[in-house]
C-alpha cells in the first residue's frame, strides 16, 4: 500500500531532485506532486537538447510551460508557435501538443500541471501512461 506524504513545508535541494531519463537525451526533474509532497499540483523542469522534441501527447489536466532558457516551438492545433525565455504556453486538458527545441542551446522549461496525479496520452498510439513512469518517454530511447 502506497501512502501519501503529509503536507509539510520543506526544501528539496538539488541532490534530492533526480533527473528522469525520458529518452533521446530529454530529462525531467520532478519538484512536487501528490506522491512527492501531497501537493494538488505537479511541478518540475524538462530539458530538451538541441534539435530534440517530445512526441505529440495530451494530459488529464491543464498545463503551463514557462521557457526558462533556449528557443522552442510549441505545436498544437496544427501549427507551431515560437516561444522563448520567460514566455508561457497554456495547454488545456486533453489538447494534443508537443515542444521542439529550435535553438542553439538546450531548452529548459518549467512545467506546472493543475493536478497532483498526471497522465500522458500519446497521440500516435493512444496509450496512456503515468507521468514519469518507465513508459513516459519523450521519444523512444536511442
Number of domains making up the chain: 1
Question: CA 79 to CA 85: how far, in whole Å?
Answer: 20
43 in a structural domain? yes
62 in a structural domain? yes
User: Residue 105 in contact with residue 49, Cβ under 8 Å?
Assistant: no
10 in a structural domain? no
2 in a structural domain? no
pTM to 2 decimal places: 0.92
Which pLDDT score, from 0 to 100, does residue 138 have? 84
Cα angle 70-75-77, degrees, rounded to a multiple of 5: 155
Q: What is the block-wise mean pLDDT of the chain (142 residues), using blocks of 10 residues?
A: 77 94 94 94 98 96 98 98 98 98 98 97 95 87 50
42 in a structural domain? yes
Question: CA 73 to CA 10: how far, in whole Å?
Answer: 34
Which pLDDT score, from 0 to 100, does residue 65 have? 98
Q: Which CATH number is 118's domain given?
A: 2.60.120.10
Amino acid at each position: 500500500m502506497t501512502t501519501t506524504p503529509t503536507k509539510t513545508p520543506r526544501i528539496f535541494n538539488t541532490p534530492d531532485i533526480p533527473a528522469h531519463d525520458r529518452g533521446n537525451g530529454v530529462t525531467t526533474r520532478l519538484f512536487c506532486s501528490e506522491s512527492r509532497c501531497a501537493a494538488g499540483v505537479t511541478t518540475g523542469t524538462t530539458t530538451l537538447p538541441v534539435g530534440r522534441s517530445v512526441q505529440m501527447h495530451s494530459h488529464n489536466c491543464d498545463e503551463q510551460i514557462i521557457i526558462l532558457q533556449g528557443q522552442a516551438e510549441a505545436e498544437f492545433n496544427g501549427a507551431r508557435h515560437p516561444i522563448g525565455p520567460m514566455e508561457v504556453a497554456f495547454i488545456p486538458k486533453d489538447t494534443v501538443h508537443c515542444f521542439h527545441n529550435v535553438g542553439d542551446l538546450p531548452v529548459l522549461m518549467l512545467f506546472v500541471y493543475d493536478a497532483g496525479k498526471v497522465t500522458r496520452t500519446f497521440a500516435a498510439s493512444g496509450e496512456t501512461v503515468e507521468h514519469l513512469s518507465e513508459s513516459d518517454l519523450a521519444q523512444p530511447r536511442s
